[in-house]
Chains A and B, each alone.
Chain A
């Protein structure tokens, strides 16, 4: 394929690909990102709901316990409650209902246990300096952060104050951290989700599933967590991408944190996206390949058509050139004919005027007579030349005649004989004696022979040999024009009939001769073929049908 056609193909391909693939990919990308965004939005709102739900449950859990203590504190006066056994029985009663209290105690204004029931020996602990004690005294009711305390195990305190200073006392309960942790962990999602509580300083109040012990400080940046429930994307210290919900527990400095691994949650979507991507890629490849083949077919057609048209144009140009050459020849012939006719008549007149007396009595009379007949002879020669020229010109117009191929060969030979002699090329003719006349276009045939002969002359160069042979063969008449030149190299043998194919120096040949000859022979219902052994010359074979073989072409 030639460069221009490759360029055309590239241009067609790029636009066809662009037109088909770009919308496909835009659509694909839209679907991809739209679903992704919708799914993520869904995930966020789910997470937010979960956080609200959990935070609500946890709030209720803590409120219930605070309220219970308040109820207890108000159920009896202090002396009743501090009676030995009272608190113990209350404690048992509460835990029968799984209130998850670890112990219960009443503490006076000085921070000393008045009475205590529980598993730990805390009877004589002094609480005056602890934060929960001070806060409870101050606020009346308090839930502490988780701490290890005297018992060295994570727990937190719920305490309520009864009465005012100095008669105030505090009912205090410790809540099992595990129970609370379990409650928080019900918000854990999937295999990689996490849920825990941190306090304002970021200390874990319940142990997270990943990356931290209880009471260690988490990597969360809590300054950014707003009061209302929020969902943010973040990257954990271990590099995991997380979708995290933050929710403040009501009235407390605790934040419920729910982490979710979006990859896990969006697994199904990711699969769908992968499938879409695969379909998109496969579809694109199929589309691109089929477009490629389609475009190639189209470009090849265009190339073939262009070639055909170039051939036709070339033939037309050549024909019109020949026609104008013919007209010029005709004009020249006529211009020559007139004075020659005058010369001929004048010489004839002189001959008429010379009677026997003149020839005999004049000293040069005989010579005069001889010269006049020589003039007539040369006039005859001029007439022969102009005849041929006029014949050539006339036959540029397409027409069918009964033609003896040998005559056409001889005419072509006559035209090139001089040139061949000049270049010391010997042209031999071996023509079939009884050649049948065939109906064909003599001028076009003439043109073919002229082309082939002049090619042969060019091929052999000085001192070469060219042979013309004609014979009958079955239903065909064959004319062969052989030369002993260098032959046609194997690599050119496929293209010598292509228009504009030439091996001659620029300006020496148009590259049209063989192409035109080939199509003329096809038009005449015959064929032009060749055989050539490189280095040994070439043999061009013109084959014409004896019968009507001419393509139907109107009047041609």
Chain B
């Protein structure tokens, strides 16, 4: 199986780099960007399976980015990262089509498990007839 391509969006650069490196060490093809705008640009240029998206981002915030992704790349699954006490945003994210939301801080294993789940869902989703995903 091809490695899962993951794009991590988080403005905290050290966190981002560490996370990306750790994901790579676990055989995922991970990339990292620090803003929503960069993320959308990246998605235009390269194929991505799962986006790990922080809700709090400078400039365009996570929910907006999510909307854009779901509009333009409905096949890409998104795992939201929220701060504690931002469950409302997380719920909103789910209603906008995010695969899951995880409350920070997230254990790496948990995150990877969700990424894999999301990826499986994506593959499964690809197999079902178009009509089911027309909503997005």
**Contacts from A to B (Cβ < 8 Å):** 330, 333-334, 337-342, 344-346, 348-349, 352-353, 379, 383, 386-387, 390-391, 393-394
Contact = CB atoms under 8 A, between A and B. Distances in A.
A383 B22 CA distance: 21
Chain A contact surface mostly:
helix
Contact of B85 (A338, A345, A352, A394): A394
B84 to A, nearest CB: 4
B111 to A, nearest CB: 10
Nearest to B21: A349
Contacts of A345: 14-15, 18-19, 22, 108
Contact of B18 (A339, A348, A386): A348
B21 to A, nearest CB: 5
A390 B83 contact: yes
B85 A330 contact: yes
Contacts of B84: 333, 337, 386-387, 390-391
B72 interface: no
B64 interface: no
Interface string B5-43: 000000010110011011001000000000000000000
A391 B85 contact: yes
B56 interface: yes
Contacts of A341: 12, 15, 104-105
Given A345-B22, A390-B84, 4 more contacts: A344-B105, A345-B108, A352-B25, A383-B105
A337 B82 CA distance: 11
Given A338-B12, A338-B15, A348 B108 contact: yes
Contact of B12 (A339, A386, A391): A339
Contacts, number: 53
Interface string B55-97: 0100000000000000000000000000111000000000000
A342 B12 CA distance: 7
A346 B15 CA distance: 7
B105 A340 contact: yes
B72 to A, nearest CB: 28
A345 B108 CA distance: 8
Contacts of A333: 83-84
Interface residues of B, number: 15
A503 B57 CA distance: 49
Q: Which of B14, B22, B84 has the most CB of A within 10 A?
A: B84
The 9 lowest CB-CB distance pairs between A and B, nearest first, are A345-B18, A342-B15, A342-B14, A394-B85, A390-B85, A390-B84, A349-B18, A346-B18, A338-B12
A86 to B, nearest CB: 149
A344 B85 CA distance: 20
7 contacts: A334-B83, A341-B12, A342-B12, A349-B21, A352-B22, A352-B25, A390-B85
B105 to A, nearest CB: 5
Nearest to A339: B12
A349 B22 contact: yes
Nearest to B15: A342
B113 to A, nearest CB: 15
B42 to A, nearest CB: 20
A340 B12 CA distance: 10
A42 to B, nearest CB: 95
Contacts of A353: 25
Contacts of A330: 85
B18 A337 contact: no
B79 to A, nearest CB: 15
A355 B19 CA distance: 18
A214 B60 CA distance: 130
A352 B18 CA distance: 10
Nearest to B56: A334
A35 to B, nearest CB: 85
Q: Which of A330, A341, A346, A387 has the most CB of B within 10 A?
A: A341
B104 A337 contact: yes
